[in-house]
Amino acid sequence: MANQKTENRELTKTIRKEMSRFAVDCNEVIISATHGNISLHGKVRAMKGHEATFESSVNALLTNLRAQRGVKDVHPEWQVSY
């Protein structure tokens, strides 16, 4: 059980790091990782100057997160703020 908690914690760190690579402001997003299932809660918005590409950036972000080692699925349950 402790090993699973460590894996969940490490996966959460990986997800947070990957989220910072995209032109999407995820500062208000809370990440939950359980057995490879990632839930994203909170608010997400376009970074200034990237409003026109926001939707494609979010899609690329989610595709990237789903491709990470250890991730089974990603559930974006966040609010989009414009």
Each of the 82 residues of the chain gets a pLDDT tens digit; together they read 679 899 999 999 999 999 999 999 999 999 999 999 999 999 999 999 999 999 999 999 999 999 999 999 999 999 998 7
Strands (DSSP E) contained in 1-82 are 24-34, 37-46, 73-80
pLDDT of the residue at 1: 61
Q: What is the pLDDT of residue 81?
A: 85
pLDDT given for residue 34 in this prediction: 95
User: 2-80 adopts what CATH topology?
Assistant: Alpha-Beta Plaits (3.30.70)
What are the domain boundaries of the chain? 2-80
Among candidates 79, 56, 76, 57, which has minimal Cα distance to 66?
76
